[in-house]
Amino acid sequence: MEEPKIGLVLGYNGAHPFSKVKLTDRASVQELLRTLLDPLEPFFSPQKARVKCPGGTAVRFDQAASEVEGILRPIWGLAALLAGGGEYRGTEWWIQGIKSGTGPQENPR
């Protein structure tokens, strides 16, 4: 049996990690973004083209579109972080996801 993935937890009993970041300057906003990106890592598809968040997403489109959104929406924040001089240890995963999702494969995942 496959081990459950640990990362993003919906329905926190306490404060969500990003609510603990005091926004005072660019570095603190960059840290806030990292608290949003880091938990997504275990939910990348094998080729990194999708992110499948656990639980219901309350979206009105199919699962494949939801998984594509799972990678594309966070890229807006990652792009701003990198453009602002920040660094992110998982940047290569996101780049690989863009390459896999736009490549010539029949069914990128």
User: HSE-up of 50 (CA within 13 Å, CB side)?
Assistant: 14
Phi, psi of 33 (to 5 degrees): -60, -40
pTM of the model: 0.75
Percentage helix, strand, coil, to 5, in the chain?
50, 0, 50
Among 92, 63, 88, 67, CA closest to 78: 88
Over its length of 109 residues, how does the chain's per-residue pLDDT go in tens digits? 455 555 555 555 677 777 888 999 999 999 999 999 998 999 999 999 999 887 766 667 788 888 888 899 999 999 999 999 999 999 999 999 999 888 766 565 6
